[in-house]
Amino acid sequence: MYIGRIVAVGMTPSGKAAAMYRVSSRSFPNRECALSGETVSVRPRPGFEADLMKSPYITYNCIRLAGRYAIVSNGSHTDPIAEKIVMGMSPRDAITLGLLAMDYEKDSYNTPRIVAVADTQSDRGFLGIIRHDAVLVQEVPLKPGQAWYLSTYEKNEIRAENTDTAFTAESAAECCAHIVGGGAFAEFELPVTAAAAVVSGLTSFELNVRTV
């Protein structure tokens, strides 16, 4: 099954919050995630820079850290959401404002914008999506060994059945591998690249990336 880009928020078996992102693509498969400080960016792989002329939506920051929070998304809304959280806005309000301000992508698929937020100090996470027909933002409970996920196509509603109950990863590298081909994610087609943030202290995250 092809479900497009995927965001996920969950808790490792040992109880650490995690946020993950996966690019799955039919149109622009030649991309990678690149780590720089507290940010992860999606960009064309070397030799495919010309793809930037074909779509404005294929390069963006997919992860940014904002104090105790990690924001993961499929587009340029990552940055305004992170900035509002840094300014003191709640994740729920920052996600809602960011999604409403940016709206769904105006490509031929009306691609939704999706986002997940993990917190170093809570067993609650957040998911959000703006589609052409709806805006949904929800706080979700996190349990060890389980991850909630949301995608641009097919799995584009926040529902209890859209959870991975075989979430066995502990490190950021393991989370990247998991969202590419582990648990519930193994059945989803055309993985390209992935990134993850996992709590590594009271107020910090470990980041990692993976290219398929």
Q: Return per-residue pLDDT of the chain as tens, 212 residues.
A: 999 999 999 999 999 999 999 999 999 999 999 999 999 999 999 999 999 999 999 999 999 999 999 999 999 999 999 999 999 999 999 999 999 999 999 998 999 999 999 999 999 999 999 999 999 999 999 999 999 999 999 999 999 999 999 999 999 999 999 999 999 999 999 999 999 999 998 779 999 999 99
User: Among candidates 68, 38, 19, 37, which has minimal Cα distance to 172?
Assistant: 19
Give the residue extent of every domain in the chain.
6-76+115-125+140-211
| pTM exceeding 0.85 | yes
Question: How many other CB atoms are found less than 10 A from the CB of residue 173?
Answer: 16
Read off the amino acid at residue 148: W
Q: Which fold has domain 6-76+115-125+140-211?
A: Glutamine Phosphoribosylpyrophosphate, subunit 1, domain 1 (3.60.20)
| Torsion angles phi and psi, residue 129, rounded to 5 | -150, 140
Residues 139 and 157 sit within 8 Å (Cβ to Cβ): no
| Torsion angles phi and psi, residue 90, rounded to 5 | -70, 150
